[in-house]
A and B are shown apart, each in its own frame.
Chain A
Amino acid sequence: MRSGSHLEEVLRGGRFAVTAELNPPDSADPESVYERARMIAPVCDAINATDASGAHVHMSSVGVCALLTRAGFDPVMQVSCRDRNRIAIQGDLLGAAAMGVRNVLCLTGDGVQAGDQPQAKPVFDLDSMTLLRTASILRDKGEFLSGRKLEVPPRLFLGAAENPFAPPYDFRPHRLKKKVDAGADFIQTQYCYDVARLREFMAKVRELGVDQKVFILVGVGPLRTAKAAEWMRANVPGVSIPDEIIDRMKRGGKGEGKRLCVEIIQQIREIQGVAGVHIMAYRQEELVPEIVEEAGLLVRDAMKVHP
């Protein structure tokens, strides 16, 4: 065990894992975090706290995670390289670990142009790869990047993202391997609406033997309407939705997005090397319990925190 987090326990125990994304509030009230957490926590193994995703500012991921650990939930703290340099990030990793955070997802981050404050300075001092390696140096060598020793190193389960649905498609499996070399213990992918593409990707990943070294959780999420899907495809970086899916959303009635999501989960589950799903139900958290239940993935052992 690298971290002793609930998520790590579940994955190492070989159970198909479920993580879900919590949309951080535009609020300074802890209750707005707990309200959302209570909705998804009973059905998942860990809760992702996003770090100003889409370059939109919300409550910080450190803040959300600190609240979650206090209440006994197991968070995945997302860290992006867009807003902080290596000095700030290493400090945040220690602080978060001290607050009981055990899972960290290392991201490059969406460009500032995607958000509502495009005037901001993009930092990108590290990239997702060097961030991963930096976090594993803190954990494994007990040192900062500079070589200076830590008194007590953080215990972390390190995650990274991959997007099998964005070009250059044949580089993606190699890039995944690179992330494992840099220190990734688990992967959470971008939204999957193209299972055929995922199958191809996973075949190559297995060929490289990477599925043996890392736990891969595939991203899924319910689409709200055909129109929302078209908007997402055009405006959210890295989201790819095939025309067939949009057509199906147009034809289908209410609840089609949820049905589709459940179907995709069931197909993903059959793919060798997939260790779990990561549900991102943007502003539809209330759907997460139904999705998990209908996909036959109800979590039996409740999430617990390891102080």
Chain B
Amino acid sequence: MLRFLQNSPHALELVYAGTSKMLVPFRRVMKRGSRMERLFIHLEKWTKGATFDCRMCGQCVLHSTGMTCPMTCPKELRNGPCGGVRANGYCEVLPDRPCVWSQAWERSRKMPLYGQEILHVLAPVDRRLKDTSAWVNHLHPELLKPPAGWES
């Protein structure tokens, strides 16, 4: 069942698009540090944990990475695979696991909505957001701003 879901990136991207729209009305109640946030952290951990093995980086980019969590890459790469991917498509660091980025690329090819996002360079991870809710942060764009020098 899980495998099936993970390999249906198009369905997942629809859910992703839906979730980001659905959250908007809750902007006022979903604040950083609120009880609501704590609830959402649990919800997010539970649902995205089960589906994506989500690592709760707090700045979700699943739509840019073929609906495959890039933080499960042992090098936490968010901009594409390293040069070490094995000939069989498995990971350099964890030889008995498929490379996250091989999967991400294949899945992105089946995503009419966001599939091209994988071609854009993403900003460095904000390490402060670890273990916060990406859903809550998503509603407060000021929390997700890249470092000042990055923006041009």
Q: Does A182 contact B (CB under 8 A)?
A: yes
* B residues in contact with A134, CB < 8 Å: 124, 149
Cβ A130 vs Cβ B79 within 8 A = yes
Partner pick for B124 among A122, A126, A161, A175, CB 8 A cutoff: A126
* A residues in contact with B82, CB < 8 Å: 108, 128, 237-238
**Distance from A305 Cβ to chain B, minimum over Cβ atoms (Å):** 29
Q: Give CA–CA (A181, B93) in the complex, Å.
A: 27
Q: Does A177 contact B (CB under 8 A)?
A: yes
Cβ B75 vs Cβ A122 within 8 A = yes
Q: Does B69 contact A (CB under 8 A)?
A: no
Q: Does A27 contact B (CB under 8 A)?
A: no
Cβ A162 vs Cβ B83 within 8 A = yes
Q: Does A163 contact B (CB under 8 A)?
A: yes
Q: Does A113 contact B (CB under 8 A)?
A: yes
For B102-114 the 0/1 string (1 means CB < 8 A from A) is 1001100000000
Choose the segment among B49-57, B84-92, B128-136 that binds chain A (4+ C-beta atoms closer than 8 Å).
Answer: B84-92
The residue on A at minimum CB distance from B124 is A130
Q: Give CA–CA (A137, B123) in the complex, Å.
A: 13
Q: Give CA–CA (A268, B147) in the complex, Å.
A: 41
Q: Does A157 contact B (CB under 8 A)?
A: no
* B residues in contact with A147, CB < 8 Å: 147-149
Cβ B119 vs Cβ A237 within 8 A = no
Known: A111-B75, A125-B127. A171 touches B80 (CB 8 A): yes
Cβ B83 vs Cβ A190 within 8 A = yes
Within 8 A of B (CB), among A151-187: 161-163, 166-168, 170-171, 174-175, 177-178, 181-182
Cβ A137 vs Cβ B149 within 8 A = yes
Choose the segment among A8-16, A138-146, A258-266 that binds chain B (4+ C-beta atoms closer than 8 Å).
Answer: A138-146
Q: Besides the contacts A82-B75, A171-B81, what 19 more A-B pairs have beta carbons closer than 8 Å?
A: A108-B75, A111-B75, A111-B92, A111-B93, A127-B77, A130-B78, A130-B122, A166-B84, A166-B86, A166-B87, A167-B86, A168-B99, A171-B101, A177-B119, A178-B79, A178-B119, A181-B121, A237-B82, A237-B92
Which chain B residues have a beta carbon within 8 Å of chain A's beta carbons?
A: 74-87, 89, 92-93, 99, 101-102, 105-106, 118-125, 127, 147-150, 152
